[in-house]
Amino acid sequence: MCRWLAYSGTPQILETILYKPAHSLIDQSLHSRLGVETTNGDGFGIGWYAQDPDVNTPAVVRDTGPAWNNRNLREIASHVRSPLFFAHIRASTGTAVQQTNSHPFRHDRWMWMHNGAIAGFPLLRRELCLAVAPSLFAEIEGSTDSEVMFCLALTFGLEDDPPGAVARMAGLVERTGRAHGIAAPLQMTIATTDGSDVWAFRYASEGVARSLFYSSRVDSLRALHPDVSFLRDLSEETRLVVSEPLGSLPGAWNEVPEHSCGVVRENGADELRPFAPA
């Protein structure tokens, strides 16, 4: 499978989050503790939004090699500052290791990344792709289930109603899979954003989904750890959503419940609710 993180809040140099924590995403690319695979070396990607309001779409950099020794990633991460960014390390579930299969995926202002799989995807791929809107079909560059899920969610209204669109996408995947005799078609943790709010989903047809965590409120962490200096510079709205905790600071991480959807809002009005396919 894969590991990923989504950051929203006080603008940060990317390496502060990607490299410096004790169990950073780069460390997870070699030493994942909660993933299906220990090593996630089948490609990586980062996507970020500029602080310049005249830049309307996120930058996305993806590659096919492992993240742990990529000099270009290290160079970018030490020079780019962003208030909202995604990062993903890939362990292929069977599709090719190629640049167009690395996450995150982008459409206009939107980004999307996924950990998990559609069971029996080669069997279901044609039917699922036929449900993608014709205007979006040409945007499918790679061969992953993740990219098809993104285009289906866009087809079903992601830009207007993210939870509803992802629920409709998940429902289609499950109906299609079960029609082909697949009992548990879908396994997913997903992050998607329009550059303002970040939505995260944790769901599995079989009932046990891949790991997902979110960071505690900054004001609560300051109260718990008044001696931790880096917390002083973070806004109250700063949040991380991660496949695995980046460190062991007590009280810092909370597990996302099974079958849940959460939103990290730009104004700090975060929300966590149940999720089910439609």
> 26-43 pLDDT, tens per residue?
999 998 988 887 898 999
Whether 224 shows a pLDDT value over 90: the answer reads no
Whether 229 shows a pLDDT value over 90: the answer reads no
Rounded CA gap, 222 and 124, in Å?
A: 48
pLDDT > 70 fraction of the chain, expressed in percent and rounded: 99
Over range 154-178, report the average pLDDT.
Answer: 98
User: Which pLDDT score, from 0 to 100, does residue 231 have?
Assistant: 81
Instruction: Name residues whose C-beta falls within 8 Å of residue 29's C-beta, 6 or more positions apart in sequence.
Output: 3, 39, 40, 41, 44, 66, 67, 68, 89
- Per-position b or e across 167-179, b if 16+ CB within 10 A of its CB: bbbbebbbebbee
Encode pLDDT of 121-154 as tens digits.
999 999 999 999 999 999 999 999 999 999 999 9
Residue with tokens 């410096």: 20
Q: Please give the structure tokens belonging to residue 70.
A: 């990529």
Over range 86-105, report the average pLDDT.
Answer: 93
Instruction: Name residues whose C-beta falls within 8 Å of residue 181's C-beta, 6 or more positions apart in sequence.
Output: none
Tell me the pLDDT band of 249, cut-offs 50, 70 and 90.
Answer: confident
User: Which pLDDT score, from 0 to 100, does residue 266 have?
Assistant: 80
User: Which pLDDT score, from 0 to 100, does residue 112 have?
Assistant: 98
- Per-position b or e across 185-218, b if 16+ CB within 10 A of its CB: bbbbbbbbbbbebbbbbbbbbeeebbbbbbbeeb
User: Which pLDDT score, from 0 to 100, does residue 129 have?
Assistant: 98
Tell me the pLDDT band of 225, cut-offs 50, 70 and 90.
Answer: confident
Over range 78-84, report the average pLDDT.
Answer: 97
Q: Which of 195, 234, 243, 240 is nearest to 32 (CA)?
A: 243
Encode pLDDT of 103-122 as tens digits.
999 999 999 999 999 999 99
Q: Please give the structure tokens belonging to residue 85.
A: 């960014």
Instruction: Name residues whose C-beta falls within 8 Å of residue 63's C-beta, 6 or more positions apart in sequence.
Output: 43, 44, 45, 70, 72, 73, 99, 102
The overall pTM is greater than 0.75: yes
φ/ψ of residue 164, rounded to 5: -65, -40
